[in-house]
Amino acid sequence: MQEYKLFLNGEWSDSVTGETFEDINPATLEPMGAFQKASLEDANSAVDSAEEAFESWSRTPAPQRGRILFRAARMLEDRKEDLSRLLTMENGKILEEARGEVQEAIDMAYYAAGEGRRLLGETAPSELPDKFCMTVRRPIGVVGLITPFNFPIAIPAWKMMPALISGNTLVLKPSSDTPLLAIELVKILNEAKVPRGVINLVTGEGGTVGAALVGNKKIRAISFTGSLDNGKWILREASKDIKRVSLEMGGKNPIIVMDDANMELAVDGVLWGAFGTTGQRCTAASRVIVNEKVLPEFQRKLEERAKRLKVGSGLDESVDIGPLINGGQLAKVERYVQIGKDEGASLTLGGSRAKFLPGHFFEPTIFTNVTAEMKIAQEEIFGPVLSLISARSLEQAIEIANSVAYGLSSSIYTENMKNAFLAIEQMEAGITYVNAPTIGAEIHLPFGGVKATGNGTREAGTTAINEFTDLKTVYFDYSGRLQKAQIDTENESD
């Protein structure tokens, strides 16, 4: 079995613990390799390396940093198919989706590289003569990046590329379920000539390595994507050192289907939104709120299509749904299916582990007669489980959509412009799609949510630069005399 290393100060290194863990292919249950179980000492060494490299990297002109990221983007493009197949084996998602995820990393690398010539500030007129006012962006320092299993190369790229172009140095801690794609990304950035110490990677347990990053006083910012409970803990702990924290913590995303919707289009969107990535997206559509006039027709068409979805290994390009990431997630989905039954919802499709397959496979599952207060309609399941909820009107549908703790993505299918704009205005979500499912974010636009989904920050787009820079306001007085803002201007007005 191949053994993979930590990446510390430009070198691939063993953990001081001498311990490793296995990364398991969720479709075959075969090991992908052995990975270092990093210690507190390893994590601190990674931070020290990043701190030492910060001064030189932050002083490197941003366009030069951009050239390195352009080089990495081209390498990602050249290796797209190999990376996609590796991603499918490590994560389980079907090959078509894996290719899309690698493309997302490519797109982010190109986008961030271009920002090297657009780290924009602003200028404004001064209230005093012979005085110039502007803002400039400065890197934060050493940043800690903690990423989940469900997008093992795209989310690290979403965080790393903007952090790097902004002049920060970093320590990346990927999910222990999918460390291999993060390692491959770091290899590419290293080949692209990112200087020694700028990027560091530690693998291992979140309670050890992740906690070490959050607690290290040299880390100036934490960017985290993961569960609500872990995000709350990070926010509490990081506040002790006044660290900047960016959190993305999931969703319980609704699709509203109105009685005037294009029914075939809505069914297409719900199938993709609910069962794409086996439901393991923070933007997955786990609730569909359907106008009662069209609910019977919609349910019939949806179930007919869902029955034809093929479950299996993502390397088989005829497959629609791959495995869940691990046995714990499989058990969690089973537990929620039982909760749905106990609450009185009607299980009309699926509800069981897929038979005759060795991995963590679960059938596409649909519940009907679901009410808004049921746990299966309130809590994030992170699996291929969909709840159909009836609504009398758009107003009630929006009320149901907003009745959960989260507020990441949302969608409405309608041919009525007024319905669309009411949904955009009133649904409590960071993202709203019209006549499209809740998944499909593009990297040049802000990504993030409201309520329990996050803490107000946004990833991607120009907001990615906001996440990883500080704004400095500069006043340049060339008058040759003391000028007093507010005071001198007040005297002049008199």
Catalytic (active site) residue 104: no
CATH of the domain at 60: 3.40.605.10
Domain interval for residue 291: 253-434
Mean of pLDDT values over 198-216: 96
Same domain, 24 and 157: yes
- Residue 43 has a CB neighbour count (10 Å cut-off) of 28
Same domain, 224 and 146: yes
Q: Is residue 87 part of a domain?
A: yes
Same domain, 283 and 343: yes
Same domain, 329 and 365: yes
pLDDT of residue 356: 75
Catalytic (active site) residue 282: yes
Q: Give tens-digit pLDDT for 409-461.
A: 999 999 999 999 999 999 999 999 999 999 999 999 999 999 999 999 999 98
Q: Give tens-digit pLDDT for 76-97.
A: 999 999 999 999 999 999 999 9
What is the rounded distance in angstroms from the CA atom of residue 285 to the CA atom of residue 409?
Answer: 8
What percent of the chain lies above the pLDDT cut of 90?
96
Using left for φ > 0, alpha for ψ between -120 and 50, and beta otherwise, residue 366 falls in beta
pLDDT score of 318 more than 90: yes
pLDDT score of 238 more than 90: yes
pLDDT of residue 216: 97
State the pairing for strand pair 244-248/219-225. Answer: parallel
Q: Is residue 397 part of a domain?
A: yes
DSSP 258-312: -TTS-HHHHHHHHHHHHHGGGG-STT-EEEEEEETTTHHHHHHHHHHHHHTPPBS
pLDDT band at 40 (very low <50, low <70, confident <90, very high): very high
What percent of the chain lies above the pLDDT cut of 70?
99
The mean predicted confidence, pLDDT, of the chain is: 96
Same domain, 268 and 235: no
Question: What global pTM score does this model have?
Answer: 0.95
pLDDT of residue 190: 98
Catalytic residue among 104, 115, 184, 248: 248
pLDDT band at 357 (very low <50, low <70, confident <90, very high): confident
Tokens of 363: 């059938």
pLDDT of residue 492: 58
Same domain, 100 and 170: yes
Same domain, 237 and 304: no
pLDDT of residue 494: 45
Catalytic residue among 51, 282, 459, 467: 282
Query: Which helix or strand (DSSP H or E) is residue 190 part of?
Result: helix 179-191
Q: Is residue 494 part of a domain?
A: no
Q: Is residue 407 part of a domain?
A: yes
Q: Could you give the number of structural domains in the chain?
A: 2
pLDDT of residue 489: 77
Tokens of 123: 């200028």
Q: Is residue 445 part of a domain?
A: no
pLDDT score of 491 more than 70: no
- Strand residues in 19-112 grouped as ranges (E): 20-24, 31-36
CATH of the domain at 274: 3.40.309.10
Same domain, 157 and 301: no
pLDDT of residue 208: 93
Q: Give tens-digit pLDDT for 377-404.
A: 999 999 999 999 999 999 999 999 999 9
